[in-house]
Chains A and B, each alone.
Chain A
Amino acid sequence: MTELIDLVLLAMLALTALKIIFLKDLFAVVMLFGIYSFLSALIFINLDAVDVAFTEASVGAGISSVLMLGTLALTGRTEKENKRSSLLPLLVVTVTGAALIYGTLDMPPFGAANNPVHEHVAPRYIEESPKEVGLPNMVTSVLASYRGFDTLGETVVVFAAAIGVLALLGVRREKTDNVRQSGFTDHYVLRIIAKLVIPLIILFALYVQFHGDFGPGGGFQAGVIAAAAFILYALVYGLPSAFRVVGPKFLQGLASFGVLLYASVGLYSMFKGGQFLDYNKLAVDPLAGQHYGIIIIELGVGITVFAVMLSIYYAFASQTERGNT
């Protein structure tokens, strides 16, 4: 069954990718990219990567698509005809693809349990992490503890993206009362439903944040979902109203605070005589230390991601609203 689903989904993905190559309507391209993301997330579920599916669905289909749509609103909808020959790109792609196919011929077979990948490092994660780290979700254990430095890097990447977007677009500061009322002013049903749905989304984000140790989810996904709730608010009620709820300046501070919260765990463990990010030293009992450490760093990740995603959206949306008034 798994193989069948896998095959059907891959076929749909291939068709979507082909369609995207030939479409000139960029709006449709972005929407199909959303579908591509959804489909690949389905593949991730089917291949047991539930946490990844969670992230891909909320990031790829959610945030990325929304940002692309916001850009399109400024840059126009159709791709112009390309007069250059497509022979050279085709050649490059064929050579690269052929190299990869050549590389696959020696690969360990798909799904076999005795592949080197499953026999060397991973067994310790699977067998020992419930004892060493004490969480049922091994992905969270590896992410937050064994490879916690990667995750710190990931948080900093998100922070760097915020720096980049702010440096490029900035968020204009202006008085909120002389701004044209934007948002869906005449979609009454949408306005009421949004009011109903947003608290549910935030509730769900909190659940994802604190349930990530036991099920799929964690700080990153929770941050994205919470940001999505505010993005929905800004979409429906307009940017000025959203600025009144959470201001852009406050978000900048919050983004820094999240990274610092994460890093402070590392510094504290150094202070306690361990290595950087050694959670065992956070409490007398190593397991309890791991638990505290993971909760705090997941919170840091969640805060940073929430703040960054929302301020990136603000930056784009304020450009769009300025560009179209």
Chain B
Amino acid sequence: MSLVLAAVCIAIMVVMALALARSFSSPTVYDRILGINMFGTKTVLFIAVVGFLMGRPDFLDIAIVYALINFIGMVAVLRFFEYTAPVE
């Protein structure tokens, strides 16, 4: 079982890396935000899986925090983005 978990863990890291790459270089600023949002949700899943992999699933609390902060951060980005004048 732990083999499957490890494989899943690595695969999620690949997804995270792809999302990170998207947020590094993106055609529009919204794509950047999208990449970061995806990175956040995948991180939540990553923590959940790692918790089971390390045999200490009681750390799911941290996954909850990530989910919360990801959402709030997203709302804040959109909110303050309205204020800033678009570049060029």
Whether chains A and B associate is yes
Q: Which of B20, B47, B75, B84 contacts A27 (CB 8 A)?
A: B84
Within 8 A of A (CB), among B44-86: 46-47, 50, 53-54, 58-59, 61-62, 64-66, 68-69, 71-73, 75-81, 83-85
Contact B73 A236 (CB under 8 A): no
Question: Across the A-B interface, how many residue pairs have beta carbons closer than 8 Å?
Answer: 130
* A289 at interface, CB cutoff 8 A: no
Query: Closest B-chain residue to A323, C-beta based?
Result: B83
Q: Which of A197, A208, A221 contacts B71 (CB 8 A)?
A: A197
Kindly name the residue among A4, A61, A236 whose own CB sees the greatest number of chain B CB atoms within 10 A.
A61
Which of A65-73, A103-111, A121-129 is the contact stretch? A65-73
CA distance A217 to B60 in the complex (A): 12
* A324 at interface, CB cutoff 8 A: yes
Q: Which chain A residues lie closer than 8 Å to B66 at the CB level?
A: 38, 41, 57
Q: What's the least CB distance linking B15 to chain A, in Å?
A: 12
Q: Which of A8, A38, A57, A235 contacts B76 (CB 8 A)?
A: A235
Q: Which chain A residues lie closer than 8 Å to B76 at the CB level?
A: 65-66, 69-70, 231, 235
> Contacts A66-B72, A76-B85, A235-B79: A225 and B23 contacting too (C-beta < 8 A)?
no
Kindly name the residue among B39, B61, B79 whose own CB sees the greatest number of chain A CB atoms within 10 A.
B79
Q: Which of B24, B65, B71, B84 contacts A19 (CB 8 A)?
A: B24
Interface residues on B, range: 35 or more
Q: What's the least CB distance linking A39 to chain B, in Å?
A: 8
* A42 at interface, CB cutoff 8 A: yes
Q: How many residues of A contact B (CB 8 A)?
A: 58
* A31 at interface, CB cutoff 8 A: yes
Which residues of B pack against A, CB within 8 Å?
6, 9-10, 13, 16-17, 20, 23-24, 29, 32-33, 36, 39-40, 43, 46-47, 50, 53-54, 58-59, 61-62, 64-66, 68-69, 71-73, 75-81, 83-85, 87
Which residues of A pack against B, CB within 8 Å?
1-2, 4-5, 8, 12, 15-16, 19, 25, 27-28, 31-32, 34-35, 38, 41-42, 45-46, 50, 53-54, 57-58, 61-62, 65-66, 69-70, 72-74, 76-78, 184, 190, 194, 197, 201, 204, 208, 211, 215-217, 221, 225, 228, 231-232, 235-236, 320, 324
